[in-house]
Amino acid sequence: MICRAINRQSGFTLTELMVGMTIGLIVLSGVSSAYIASSQAGRESQASSEQVENGRQALEFVMYDLRHAGYFGQLTVLPAPGGALPDPCETANLAAMSQAMAFPVQGYDAPGASPLTCLDAADFVPGTDILVVRRVDTRPLTETDTPEQGAIYLQANALESELQVGNSGGTIGLTKKADGTAATVFNRGGVTAAPIYRYLVHIYFIAPCAMPAGGGASCTGASDDGGNPIPTLKRLELTAAGGAAQMNIVPLVAGVENLQLDYGVDNLPTAVDPITGLIGNGAPDCADTDPGSSANAGVTTGCETANPGAVAEWANVVGAQVHVLARSYRPYNDYTDSKTYDLGLGLGAATPGGGFKRHAYSTAVRLTNVSGRRELPI
């Protein structure tokens, strides 16, 4: 008799199936929780990195311009400061713009509304500082360059300067102005024309949004930035369009919530030096948030002893302390910012609160071209 083995197949019992499914769900839940936590940590790390990078980048923009403030090519003697601060928004009056070169740096200390005709109220965050920097491009035009139509240029030697409106009709050669006519400011020897530089005016400010709704130039409100307005460091730039000079808004760094500046003022000794023709010695004697105002609460001991309350004190600014407060693009759930941030003499300790994560940045900058004109040769 032959015996055959019988292969019997049997499935899981209901109890075994339920136990297996329960174990699987527990494992899946753990994997999902780990993935969610990892994703959230990754997003927070990326947001933190963006916030740090944004703050540093904002400082770099302002620092670079301040280091070059007052650079007007070969020109060593600036106009004497007038009795009133110039209009940073001026684009047509060349005489007024030339006189404004007496103030390489100009500022507005935490105004409650925009004080400038070229900066709409909707584009400005009240209580933040506005910084104006005047200089020229570090690269002069070459003889084969053609000036941009309507742009403003400075032609200067050591003692003379002239602002000119660019004419795109041809290259400047060796004997022309930016407008194409014969030069009147020459290099030493009087044969070739003095170098021609693009004249720059940069106005830094904090705007309540990065990208206005509808693609316009000005912020509109709660609908900006896709319904989540992000404060942004921007600047107005002196440019040209349609053959005429104009001020144009350029976004720089999103997520910058505040900008504050303290200015280093050089007003001692008060006697004019016979060599430099200026007061001071190139080193700051005190710090001030508004050098032209004697009623400013941020003034420290020693400031404005030379020209109390005079706008001419802006011409004595030889350094600056820049304070930037950067924040995350969006608020965090279950987070409240209880930190206090030191933003300098004017604003002091700030506690903005809310669900945004923030970081404050600060750096000191020497206005090399302004302070250098006051230093005595060794």
Report the pLDDT value the prediction gives residue 297, as an integer from 0 to 100: 45
Tally of CA atoms within 13 A in the half-sphere of 315 that contains its CB: 24
Q: Rounded distance, CA 130 to CA 106, Å?
A: 9
Report the pLDDT value the prediction gives residue 182, as an integer from 0 to 100: 97
Average pLDDT of the chain, as a whole number: 89
Q: Rounded distance, CA 199 to CA 72, Å?
A: 8
Q: Rounded distance, CA 138 to CA 200, Å?
A: 10
Residue 175 lies in a domain: no
Residue 168 lies in a domain: no
Q: Rounded distance, CA 345 to CA 262, Å?
A: 7
Number of domains in the chain: 1
Among residues of the chain, what percentage have pLDDT more than 90? 67
Backbone angles phi, psi at 258, to 5 degrees: -150, 150
Strand partners, 365: 320
The model's pTM: 0.88
- Lowest model confidence (mean pLDDT) among 57-71, 235-249, 328-342: 328-342
pLDDT, tens digit, 9 for 90 and up, residues 237-268: 999 999 999 999 999 999 999 999 999 999 88
127 within 8 A of 106, measured Cβ to Cβ: no
| Chain center to CA of 227 | 25
Residue 347 lies in a domain: yes
Report the pLDDT value the prediction gives residue 42, as an integer from 0 to 100: 57
361 within 8 A of 63, measured Cβ to Cβ: no
Residue 131 lies in a domain: yes
Residue 110 lies in a domain: yes
Among residues of the chain, what percentage have pLDDT more than 70? 88
Q: Is the pLDDT of residue 302 over 90?
A: no
Residue 296 pLDDT class (50, 70, 90 cuts): low
Locate 194 and state its tokens: 């003095």
Residue 11 lies in a domain: no
- Mean pLDDT computed over 205-225: 93
* DSSP assignment of 17-54: HHHHHHHHHHHHHHHHHHHHHHHHHHHHHHHHHHHHHH
pLDDT, tens digit, 9 for 90 and up, residues 143-170: 999 999 999 999 999 999 999 999 999 9
| Bond into 269 cis (ω within 30) | yes
Residue 31 lies in a domain: no
Report the pLDDT value the prediction gives residue 378, as an integer from 0 to 100: 64
Report the pLDDT value the prediction gives residue 320, as an integer from 0 to 100: 97
Residue scoring higher pLDDT (50 or 210): 210
Residue 149 lies in a domain: no
Report the pLDDT value the prediction gives residue 43, as an integer from 0 to 100: 57
The amino acid occupying position 266 is D
In the three-class reduction of DSSP (H, G, I as helix; E, B as strand; rest coil), residue 322 is classed as strand
CA nearest neighbour of 70 among 266, 275, 271: 266
Domain span at residue 334 reads 45-140+195-217+227-372
Q: Rounded distance, CA 220 to CA 45, Å?
A: 31
The amino acid occupying position 124 is F
Strand partners, 317: 265
Report the pLDDT value the prediction gives residue 49, as an integer from 0 to 100: 64
Residue in this structure with the two tokens 């050591």, named with its chain if needed:
158
Report the pLDDT value the prediction gives residue 23, as an integer from 0 to 100: 85
Residue scoring higher pLDDT (252 or 296): 252
Residue scoring higher pLDDT (112 or 5): 112
